[in-house]
Amino acid sequence: MSEKLKNGLELTTSLQLTIELMDQYPVKMKIKQTAKAFLKEVELDAAAEYLKVYNASHEFALNAVKKKDELIKMIAELDEADFILCSDFLRKFKDNIHLARKNGLVFFDKIM
């Protein structure tokens, strides 16, 4: 996955979550409209890169976006103490990603 696409998907997913959170938090309509306009521009910019991945594998592309969205929502729901624990867990995962890819769930059982 290209760096531009990776960043574009992260940004669009984060912006979508921000807009969803704005529905639950009283913000001025102008702020929400600006956020939606920004999201639209980022989506347009990332669309060409995303289409390359989507055309190669529709299922993979859709699942990747859904999983990123799911993870962002889970992290957003954590209180600060749990977020710190989650952050440390993710850092260990990232530092040992080669083992996680090789061993799958066994890797997580050992960490937990």
Reported as a single tens digit per residue, the pLDDT across 33-64 is 888 888 788 778 777 777 777 788 888 878 88
Please tell me whether residues 17 and 72 are part of one structural domain. Answer: yes
Please tell me whether residues 37 and 64 are part of one structural domain. Answer: yes
The model's pLDDT over 78-88, given as tens digits with 9 standing for 90+, comes to 888 998 998 98
Task: Mark out the alpha helices in the chain (DSSP H runs).
Answer: 3-24, 29-56, 58-77, 80-95, 97-103, 105-111
pLDDT value of position 81: 92
pLDDT above 90: percentage of residues in the chain: 4
Please tell me whether residues 45 and 67 are part of one structural domain. Answer: yes
Please tell me whether residues 70 and 51 are part of one structural domain. Answer: yes
Length of the chain: 112
| CA 63/CA 49 separation, integer angstroms | 16
Q: Which domain holds residue 105?
A: 79-112
Reported pTM: 0.56
Q: Which whole-number Å values give the CA distances from 85 to 14, 61, 90, 91, 93, in the listed order? A: 21, 29, 9, 10, 12
- Number of structural domains (the chain) is 2
Burial of 13 (0-12, 13-18, 19+ CB in 10 A): buried
Mean pLDDT of 12-22: 73
Please tell me whether residues 84 and 37 are part of one structural domain. Answer: no
Please tell me whether residues 58 and 21 are part of one structural domain. Answer: yes
